[in-house]
Chains A and B, each alone.
Chain A
Amino acid sequence: MNNKEKEIFLRKRYSAEKRFRFFGISSIIIALSFLCILLINIFTNGLSAFSRTEILLKINFNEKKLGINSSSTDKEIKQANFDEVLQDALLSLAPNAPELKQAELMDLVSIDATTELKKFYLKNKDVLNKTAEVAVTLSDDIDQVHKGNFPRDIPEDRRRFSDFQLKIYDEQSSKNKIISEFNWPFIFNADSREPEIAGVGASLMGSFFTLIVCLLLSFPLGILAAIYLEEFAPKNKITEIIEVNVNNLAAVPSIVFGLLGLGVFLNYFYLPRSTPLVGGLVLALMTLPRIIIPCRAALKAVPPSIREGALALGASKVQTVMHNVVPLAMPGTLSGTIIGLSQALGETAPLLLIGMVAFINVVPSTPLDPSSVLPVQVYLWSESAERGFVEKTSATIIILIFFLAFMNSFAIYLRNKFEKKWS
């Protein structure tokens, strides 16, 4: 091999080196850009759901039309019919509209609008027989137009609102009668068939109850199991079987736990369907191995000198472990538990099988009420056709990701702040 050949050979080797490095960098960039695209997509779709669009209507709270008077009790007011005053206010937006168009005027506002009027009246009872300007939630379709999520230039027969409705909207918009507000009902309301009043309140509560049940079961059980396996278990066949089982359960697909919940908890023990109690039980079984494994690692990291010191002072084995080893391993076990719970929070498939997909339109108040959870709500809304639910789904995902990010960063904080480094 002469010098020139050597040089060519070397150049080839160096370019191969560069190529290899380039592959490495580009695959990392691809992976991270997927993450960015996903997050940007969700956020751009979802952020608009946190505002809602309202129209300021001049409502005449006429005593006769409402059928109430100044001495009516709250209960009577709640039963009163506010449809007519709302109708009058809407018709006054286009006084000369033909009868055919009047129904379209009614569809401008949400079907929940009369409830809003009632709430307004209950707060301001002095408006009786007077005219007041009340903000009323617009229907989902107009809401989407206002937010610019729906193109207005497509033909009339291919959209869910008419040219007439659009004209009224533009008129009111130019008069500054259309306003946007933070969408509190989205946070507190339960699910609904109407996108403009549907909220994640019920599934937030459901997720909360489910996680509490899961935590109460999996944390003590997981920590005790980890202590046993790491500190007390004799080296024999039984221990080996338990260890193999723990490791395998951590890798069993989550849907299989759903089948277990359906077959055992619902059909054998007759626990109530669709409830956070059963959901929490199933998720606890799923989370258990995922808690045991990091707990064991945390216990293992405590140096033997700690144990020997305590034993030398006459402490029993149980005392040594409970008073000396476990407190030192606590930061690691806690962060492992929180990460396990955050996985449980994002889990969907097993909960579908135990009936947590039911349409729930009341916020649950105990773990025994049927309810939904955040990820299942995402699944449910993603199946709906209305444009309004797309932004709601993305917004639910934003809330879910917010909680996950919070839990995970709290776990990392715990670990970094309190974990002792032994070296």
Chain B
Amino acid sequence: MNLTILSLIAVFSLSCYFFGKSKVLKQTKISGKKFHSLPEYYGYYLAAWCGLPALIILFFWSFSELYIVKLFILSDFRADPSIDENKLNLIFSEIKSIAEKNFSGTIPQNLVPYVEKFLSLNKILELSKFAVIFSAIIFSLSFAYSQILKNIRARESVEKVIRVVMFLCAAIAVFTTFGIVLSLLFESIKFFTAVSIFDFITGTNWAPGRAFVRDASVQTADVENVFGAVPLFWGTFFIAMIAMCVAVPIGLFSGIFMAEYASRKIRRIVKPLIEVLAGIPTVVYGFFAALTVGPFFRTIGEAVGLNVSSESALAAGMIMGVMIIPYVSSLTDDVINAVPVSLREGSYAMGATKSETIKKVILPAALPGIVGSILLAISRAVGETMIVVMAAGLGANLTINPLEASTTITTQIVTILIGDQSFNNPKTQAAFALGLTLFFFTLVINIIALNIVKKFREKYE
């Protein structure tokens, strides 16, 4: 339905454009009347008046439609005090899926009249949507047409619209951040009313599977001591550190070599090749870590008499480190190139060798930039999901042994939310609380890192 209306609006707007343009052209030809703007601007003007109000109405209507239907349908159920909000939602989604013929199982007979009501209400709303939108189009078109005949300054109006649309597009970034924060907060607050925030941050036992909820009302006994997130925080930190142990030395030295030693030709080949490492999907690394690296470590461990679990923090961390190498190397390369040549020349003039210049002059000068790049790499490692999901295991162990399985924030979010999940249950909400933690942690690191890099750039530019 919406698609039909959308395509109709598009067709109307397009024909309005051609109509407006030819109308103005004809008028100039016949009566010699001079218009303020070029003819196509009158076309755009008419098209904008045709399309924009209709689109705005369609947008808001489509979002409020379901709520209006819900309000009407559920008014009977609301009278019953024994039915709470969660149950109301459940009833409504049941009615909806029966009406859309997606319902599996036997249809409860008491819902049948409501399904009919739902269908008839939907029909009325659809028809009235159609009517409202098309009367809006006719109304705004007749207004715009009269304005054209009055020789309005069409270009200025059109340009104003273009600017507003552009601004809205740019503002989507802000809306997205709001959407993220709100959706995470909304569920997290529900979670923290059931589980104390203190237990979440300091508890050391993570076993959300045990938090079964038999009723809609949450029993505190059920959720106590199973949502301690410390093992997850530790696992995340631990695996990220293993990754950085691989990525920082290799990335740093490759960056230095590419910036200072490599000839232009070698650099042009090697730099994109290393960046390929960052372009490979993380699920590929996860597959490689789980299927090749994990068992490989296991055989080595068996050979020297160590007990290595096939899903180990070491395998996941190492492969994650490989993935992160290009983030460190490319940024190092960039910041070293940003250090002024005069510093280098001064050092060479004093008789220093290349490595002495790098170690004593360039690296100290580029240090803030390098620290920033390492911080960005850490935030990348903390938020990385697929490698740890596939290779690090699920057991929430609080261990410093890299050969054991260990779990992370992202792994737990995926395991909790994968497949079918019921909402309004602390286990599901815990995933959102973890997401919130992850979001704020990476946000803080990113802001610090971006500021350091920005300050560094300003210093030398």
Contacts and interface: CB of A to CB of B under 8 A. Distances in A.
Contact of B435 (A32, A225, A256, A292): A256
Given A353-B417, A357-B418, A225 B276 contact: no
B389 to A, nearest CB: 8
Given A27-B249, A252-B439, A42 B288 contact: yes
A105 interface: no
A406 to B, nearest CB: 12
A238 to B, nearest CB: 8
A386 B400 CA distance: 33
Interface string A347-388: 111001101011000000000000000011011001000000
Chain B interface secondary structure, helix, strand, loop or mixed?
helix
Contacts of B159: 316-318
Interface in B116-150: none
Interface stretch (B197-205, B214-222, B279-287): B279-287
Which among B170, B285, B322, B423 has the highest number of chain A CB atoms within 10 Å? B170
Contact of B173 (A34, A225, A408): A225
B334 interface: no
Contacts of B374: none
A228 B223 CA distance: 49
Contacts of B385: 253-255, 348-349
Interface stretch (B10-18, B76-84, B183-191): B183-191
Contact of B174 (A19, A30, A241): A241
A259 B432 contact: yes
B283 A221 contact: no
A230 B191 CA distance: 42
B284 A352 contact: no
Which among A31, A225, A404 has the highest number of chain B CB atoms within 10 Å? A31
Nearest to B37: A316
Contacts of B389: 349, 379
Given A17-B353, A254-B385, A348-B283, A221 B172 contact: yes
A379 B283 contact: yes
Contacts of A292: 173
B413 interface: yes
Contact of A13 (B253, B353, B379, B390): B353
B287 A393 contact: yes
A255 B166 contact: no
Interface stretch (B22-30, B307-315, B337-345, B441-449): B441-449
A259 B413 contact: yes
Nearest to B443: A248
A312 interface: no
Interface string B400-424: 0000000000100110011100010
A233 interface: yes
B274 A20 contact: no
B171 interface: yes
Contacts of B165: 224
B306 to A, nearest CB: 23
A30 B184 contact: no
Nearest to A375: B283
Interface stretch (B47-55, B107-115, B226-234, B254-262): B254-262
A325 interface: no
B382 interface: yes
A353 B382 CA distance: 18
Interface string B263-297: 00000001001101101111111111011100000
B414 A352 contact: yes
Contact of A264 (B171, B179, B281): B179
Given A38-B280, A379-B386, A400-B284, 16 more contacts: A14-B353, A21-B257, A24-B253, A27-B251, A224-B166, A225-B169, A242-B173, A246-B170, A248-B177, A251-B442, A253-B379, A253-B383, A285-B176, A348-B385, A379-B286, A404-B281
20 contacts: A20-B355, A23-B253, A25-B257, A28-B253, A31-B250, A31-B277, A31-B326, A41-B288, A245-B173, A252-B439, A253-B438, A253-B439, A255-B385, A259-B184, A259-B431, A349-B389, A349-B410, A353-B414, A375-B283, A378-B287
Pairs of residues from A and B, 7 with the lowest C-beta to C-beta distance, nearest first: A253-B383, A24-B257, A346-B281, A263-B183, A20-B355, A228-B166, A349-B385
Interface of B: 63, 66, 96, 155, 159, 162-163, 165-167, 169-174, 176-177, 179-180, 183-184, 186-187, 249-254, 256-258, 261, 270, 273-274, 276-277, 279-288, 290-292, 322, 325-326, 329, 353-356, 358-359, 376, 379-380, 382-386, 389-390, 410, 413-414, 417-419, 423, 431-432, 435, 438-439, 442-443, 446-447, 450
